[in-house]
Structure 1
Amino acid sequence: MSIVKKLDISKYLVIGPENTKGRPVATIIKDAVNAGFTCIQIRSKVASAKELIQLTRQAAEAIEEAGKSKEVALLVNDRLDIVLAARKEGIKVDGIHVGQTDIPVDVCREYLGEELIVGLSARADELFEYIKTADVSQLDYFGVGPLRETQTKPDCGLGKDGRVITRSFDDIAKISELSSIPVVVGGGVKLADIPSLAQTGADGFFVVSAVTEADNPKLEATKLVNAWNDYKSREKCSVN
């Protein structure tokens, strides 16, 4: 089965070498996956193409060592060339995540085919109208944020006027209701935010520094996973 058909973006980690305090990317990925994270995105603005391919290989191997290759999606941020090169080398990479100013979604889909994942960061300006009217026929999910400003990605949520537009939980609930495809929310997300975020109807959360810069990444990843799962299990029980 294609991983797209069972894509789980509920617990989503974005990571690159600039986010780990000098620790190996693969080690933190393995910790996160073992803790229950369901999607990994390799993102780096400082790594060379060769380094990004190697990071993708190491990430795929870490996921495989955890026995999760069939259930955890591995994505690369922005770089279609890296996805294609990695797959040519036999690395199991499952797709790409792009922003509004990155390579167009239709180009990604043309080169990656229907089986791989293509995620897109939703527009910051006129977000609600965009979510309602955007052509999502070639997309698998939207990334939305930030919940609050973050130094990890200072341009996250940047509006046309150069100011960062943050999103309230009410905003996220409205976005989740309007969107016809899954929505994952991040940008400054902390453990204390997870219960409120889970209540919005969003399909998942994404984090960077909350795990990658933690003193004990596996412990923090476990806390985040448990907080999300605890709310969702209570929600399921109340429905039943």
Structure 2
Amino acid sequence: MNMREKLDISAYLVIGPENTKGRSVAAIITDAIEAGFTCIQIRSKVASARELIQLTKEAADAIKTAGKSDDVALLVNDRLDVILAARHMGVKVDGIHVGQSDIPYDVCRKHLGEDAIVGVSARTEALLEYIQTVDVQPIDYFGVGPLRETATKPDCGQLQDGSVITRSLSDIAEVASVSPIPVVLGGGVKLDDLPALAKTGVHGFFVVSAVTEAKDPKQAATELVDMWQRNTERED
């Protein structure tokens, strides 16, 4: 079974060097994996292509060292070129996450193959209409947000006029109910949000600073995973 078939987006970490307070990206990824995170996305708007390739290699090595290469998915945000280069170097990268202004997801699917994971940030405007009408055959999950405005991705949910649309719990529940593919919700998500988010029907949560900027990333990651599991197990 390939990673696309067994994708688990229940606890999803997005990380880049600008989010770690100067600490090692690989070390925080290790902490998150040991705590039970199931999906890692490398995302950086400041790192060069070469730096991103190296970060991706370090992330893959951390996942391998933890014995989780067959369980924890490694994705790269936006940069199809970085993924192709890393794969050429023998790095195990499982897929890509793209936004609405990035490379079209069908192009990603064509270049990465049928076994790759392709995640897409759902459109901010006309969200429900988009999710119900887009061709999801090439897509594995939708990323939806933000729950609240967030400094790690200030353009999340931003409209052309600069205003930001945040998502209420009722919005999220409606999206989860109509989406033909899994939904992961993020954008300012904190530990105390998880019990309510678990009731919306989304398949998981994604975080950045809640783990990457925590005083103790492993403890923060563990608390998030435990909280999510406690509030979803009774519904399984």
Deviations 1:68-125 (A, max 9, x none): 1100000000000000000000001000000000001111011001000000000000
Aligned to 1:221: 221
Aligned to 1:99: 99
SS in 2 for 1:6: coil
Mapped pair 1:142 → 2:163: no
Q: Return the letter of the residue paired with 2:150.
A: T
Inter-partner Cα distance in structure 2 for 1:160 and 1:169: 24
Q: Return the letter of the residue paired with 1:37.
A: F
Structure 2: gaps spanning 5 or more residues: none
Mapped pair 1:190 → 2:166: no
Aligned to 2:211: 211
Of stretches 156-165 and 196-205 in structure 1, the one that deviates more from structure 2 is: 156-165
Runs of 4+ displaced beyond 6 Å: none
Aligned to 1:60: 60
Aligned to 1:160: 160
SS in 1 for 2:118: strand
Deviations 1:32-86 (A, max 9, x none): 0000000000000000111000000000010111111100000000000000000
**Conserved? CA contact 1:73–1:94, under 8 Å:** yes
Inter-partner Cα distance in structure 2 for 1:188 and 1:148: 5
Deviations 1:186-233 (A, max 9, x none): 000000000000110000000000000000000000000000000111
Shift of 1:160: 3.1
Structure 1: gaps spanning 5 or more residues: none
Aligned to 1:41: 41
**Conserved? CA contact 1:125–1:160, under 8 Å:** no
Q: Return the letter of the residue paired with 1:38.
A: T
Aligned to 2:14: 14
SS in 1 for 2:5: helix
**Conserved? CA contact 1:34–1:66, under 8 Å:** yes
SS in 2 for 1:3: coil
Question: TM-score if structure 1 supplies the norm length?
Answer: 0.97
Mapped pair 1:3 → 2:7: no
Q: CA RMSD in A?
A: 0.6
Q: Return the letter of the residue paired with 2:136.
A: V
Q: Return the letter of the residue paired with 1:29.
A: I
Alignment of 1:76-155 (within 5 A): 76-155=76-155
Shift of 1:130: 0.8
How many residue pairs were aligned? 236
Inter-partner Cα distance in structure 1 for 2:6 and 2:218: 24
Aligned to 2:74: 74
Q: Return the letter of the residue paired with 1:174.
A: E
Deviations 1:140-165 (A, max 9, x none): 00000000000100000112332110
Inter-partner Cα distance in structure 2 for 1:17 and 1:117: 23
Q: Return the letter of the residue paired with 1:118.
A: V
Inter-partner Cα distance in structure 2 for 1:153 and 1:49: 20
Inter-partner Cα distance in structure 2 for 1:126 and 1:48: 34
Question: TM-score if structure 2 supplies the norm length?
Answer: 0.99
Q: Return the letter of the residue paired with 1:126.
A: A
